[in-house]
Amino acid sequence: MLKRISVQQLRLGMHVHEFCGSWMDHPFWRTSFLLDSEKDMQAILAANIKEVWIDTAKGLDAEGGVAEAEVVQSVEATLAQAALPEKKTVRADIAQEAVRAAKVCAKSKQAVTSMFHEARMGKALNADDALPIVEEISNSVIRNPGALISLARLKDKDDYTYMHSVAVCALMVALARQLDLSDEQTRLAGMAGLLHDIGKMMIPPEILNKPGKLTDEEFEVVKNHPVEGHKLLLEGSGVSDVALDVCLHHHEKVNGGGYPEGLSDEQISLFAKMGAVCDVYDAITSNRPYKNGWEPAESLRKMAEWSKGHFDQRVFEAFVRSIGIYPVGSLVRLESGRLAVVVDQGEKSLLAPVVKVFFSTKSNSRISPEIIDLSKPIARDKIVSHEDPAKWNIGDVQVLWSGIPATPF
């Protein structure tokens, strides 16, 4: 029987079925487990959680509490409310969402790290445990996709594999929405993005994190990660066919030159084609042990050059529309000779985003920051090129668009 109790009633030997509250409010990526550790007990008591559900059939009971049957009416009321027409989401301000997105990134990284480490140790994955991660990431993307996607790109080299999974989840959600997929398909796409690289846990760390070029033998080991990940997911529970497919096939190319099966065009599913684009974009824009990432706009230009043989053209074009030709965080030069950082996408044109002007190339000095929507006639300026921040010795691009002084995860 399920019973809701106060966290103060918890004791070792109880089976925690679910926390009452947001996934962001507690330190566990898994919500259902036997409470057999004093350390876990103290972590729950220290968290912003007041009540939990326990399963008395799997662990000790507690005096008092509220039995499951007593909350049926409340649950029915909740379901009835959920059935009402969804209200249109109000787009959040980029700086406001960046603060929330930073917390989501930090929490998601913690959860994915634990999940992947458990997979490496042979513990079967329950995909249902990862649903709250996908939901939090999806909610942030819905409020303002540029915030979380741009923050997740600024990952630490040592945590690349884990934050890459978070970033690809967010990119898959944004792309699914651009393709007008259903809510369920969007959720499946996000989960697939989160799990697509779990097979990298089977790669020896000295190869996975090697700072130099891989040998041919080492590259063959790396190329086996889709197959290894597929095996891990098959051993788990609650893993959708979409997640299995994307895990196995996100390195396939439409020209048949990918791996592990050398599939081509129509043999590759829509979700796997989506995974291929999202995976490559985050990979080439991120700092890796062996190279620094390219700027977002430059990365899209490179991908456009590869797209006819590598990516599905329709999917790639939708991807560009989902993040913009000049993604949030891009440093650009304007026709006026000023430098600006992209802070949001414009309403009318991918070529005319909202930017924050802050530097004059003519005087080679900072100027008072100014927000300009380049899609407005009053702007009287336009982007002429993307720029490398290092060329201008600009190290605070992240602060300029997000207000956050350093990557917080």
Residue 77 pLDDT > 50:
no
In three-state secondary structure terms, 318 is helix
* Residue bearing the bigger pLDDT, 46 or 24: 46
Find the mean pLDDT for residues 189-206: 96
What are 333-379's pLDDT values in tens digits?
Answer: 999 999 999 999 987 788 899 999 999 999 999 999 999 999 998 99
Query: 232 with 130, same domain?
Result: yes
In the listed set 49, 82, 115, which residue is the last one of a domain according to the structure?
82
pLDDT tens sequence across 209-247 = 888 888 999 999 999 999 999 999 999 999 999 999 999
Query: At residue 88, does pLDDT exceed 50?
Result: no
% pLDDT > 90, the chain: 61
Residues 168 and 299 in one domain: yes
Return the axis-axis angle of helices 183-195 and 160-178, rounded to nearest 10°. Answer: 160
- How many Å apart are CA 263 and CA 277, to the nearest integer? 16
For residue 409, tell me if it sits in a domain.
no
**Predicted pLDDT at 364:** 94
Does pLDDT of 67 surpass 90?
no
* Residue 144 lies inside a defined structural domain of this protein: yes
Does residue 147 form part of some domain? Answer: yes
Mean pLDDT of 94-122: 91
Task: Name the pLDDT band for 79 (thresholds 50, 70, 90).
Answer: very low
Based on the fold, state whether residues 61 and 171 are members of the same structural domain.
no
Q: Answer whether residue 33 is part of any domain.
A: yes
Average pLDDT, the chain: 87
Residue after which a domain boundary falls, among 56, 82, 108: 82
In a domain, 155, yes or no: yes
Same domain, 378 and 281: no
Range of the structural domain that residue 182 is part of:
94-323
Mean pLDDT of all residues in 262-289: 94
* The overall pTM is greater than 0.85: no
Q: Is the pLDDT of residue 118 over 80?
A: yes
Q: Alpha helices, DSSP H only, in 251-389?
A: 270-285, 296-310, 313-323
Same domain, 221 and 292: yes
Report if residue 88 sits inside a domain.
no
Q: Are 313 and 351 in the same domain?
A: no
Q: Are 185 and 51 in the same domain? A: no
Domain boundary among 282, 305, 323: 323
Quick one: 183 and 224 in the same domain? Answer: yes
Q: What is the mean pLDDT of residues 49-54?
A: 84
Does residue 407 fall inside a structural domain?
A: no
CATH code at position 227: 1.10.3210.10
The answer to whether residues 264 and 154 belong to one domain is yes
Compute the distance between CA of residue 322 and CA of residue 282 in angstroms, rounded to an integer. 14
How many helices (DSSP H) and strands (DSSP E) are in the chain? Answer: 15, 10
Gap between the Cα atoms of 80 and 191, Å rounded: 26
**Collapsing DSSP states into helix, strand and coil, what is residue 154?**
coil
408 occurs within a structural domain: no
Range of lowest pLDDT (23-27, 31-35, 205-209): 23-27
Looking at the structure, do residues 250 and 314 belong to the same domain, yes or no? yes
| 210 and 302 belong to one structural domain | yes
Whether the upstream peptide bond of residue 204 has omega within 30° of 0, thus cis, is: no
Q: Determine the average pLDDT of the residues in 62-89.
A: 44
Domain count, the chain: 3
With contact defined as beta carbons under 8 Å apart, do 174 and 327 qualify? no
Q: Could you tell me which residue, 377 or 261, shows the higher pLDDT?
A: 261
382-385: long-range pairs with CB below 8 Å, 24+:
382/334, 382/335, 382/351, 382/352, 383/326, 383/332, 383/333, 383/334, 383/335, 383/351, 383/352, 383/353, 383/355, 384/333, 384/334, 384/335, 385/332, 385/333
d(CA 50, CA 9): 10
- State whether 107 and 57 are in the same domain: no
| Torsion over CA: 47, 49, 53, 56 (sign) | positive
Contact 29, 115 (CB under 8 A): yes
